[in-house]
Amino acid sequence: MSATRILLLGAPGAGKGTQASALIKRLGVLHVSTGDMLRKAVAEGTEIGLKAKAIMDSGKLVSDEIVIAIAEERLAQPDAANGFVLDGFPRTRAQAEALASMLDKNGTPLERCVALTVDIDAVVERLLKRAELEGRADDNEETIRERMRVYDAQTAPLLEFYKIAGLLSEVDGMGTVEEVSARVETALADS
């Protein structure tokens, strides 16, 4: 049986959002993107949005406390019971541990972590193109470099965390959307 509680891990611009969208369509599960939730909070001017905006614009990470709270709240809703694809959460060891303890408590542990591996120069180019298309304030070159640095320092160590947990599949994230999707499907089928 195919996994339905999935984490997509990868550097900013690795294609997590695109692959998450394809997966949720195929599996009929929930897409949980803390980046999308935070951007919505910023757009709506909520208290969390006001706190998060400057941090997001600088390319740094919003506090574990805030992010864990919004992810847990979303995952606790009934529509998460069929499964989910996590995209952009967890990004730190503390977030990964909080997620594991929440899911374990509910008896619904993560089933697979798919890590998209990419060439960083190609990714920076991809992000600059996306900046032109979407006009995201956190997509100028300086912020992109900071996001990469933060990824290396805080999020990349999660690869080891999920490897030790026996959940990690590394997938080549370079190529067309269809090519990468096919590799992700294979990785999930093999798990």
Residue 39 appears among annotated catalytic residues: no
Q: Three-class SS of residue 63?
A: coil
Pick between residue 19 and residue 95 the one whose CB is nearest to ligand AMP: 95
Residue 130 appears among annotated catalytic residues: yes
Q: Tell the smallest beta-carbon distance from residue 16 to ligand AMP (Å).
A: 7
> Measuring CA to CA, which residue among 152, 158, 149 is closest to residue 58?
149
From 5, 53, 74, 91, the catalytic residue: 91
Q: Tell the smallest beta-carbon distance from residue 153 to ligand AMP (Å).
A: 13
117 Ramachandran zone, left/alpha/beta (phi>0; psi -120 to 50): beta
From 26, 60, 136, 163, the catalytic residue: 136
From 5, 16, 39, 53, the catalytic residue: 16
Residue 136 appears among annotated catalytic residues: yes
> For residue 87, what are the β-bridge partners?
8, 33
The answer to whether the beta carbons of residues 174 and 118 sit under 8 Å apart is: yes
Q: Which residues bind ligand AMP (CB under 6 A)?
A: 12, 34-35, 38, 55-56, 59, 61-62, 67, 88-91, 95, 138, 147
Q: Round to whole Å and give the CA distance between 2 and 21.
A: 17
Q: Tell the smallest beta-carbon distance from residue 77 to ligand AMP (Å).
A: 18
Query: What string of DSSP letters covers 111-146?
Result: -EEEEEE--HHHHHHHHHHHHHHH--TT-SHHHHHH
From 53, 74, 112, 147, the catalytic residue: 147
Q: Tell the smallest beta-carbon distance from residue 135 to ligand AMP (Å).
A: 14
15 Ramachandran zone, left/alpha/beta (phi>0; psi -120 to 50): left
Residue 89: DSSP 8-state:
-
Q: Tell the smallest beta-carbon distance from residue 1 to ligand AMP (Å).
A: 28
Residue 126 appears among annotated catalytic residues: no
The answer to whether the beta carbons of residues 4 and 54 sit under 8 Å apart is: no
Residue 129 appears among annotated catalytic residues: no
Tokens 């969208």 correspond to 21
Tell me the catalytic residues: 16, 91, 130, 136, 147
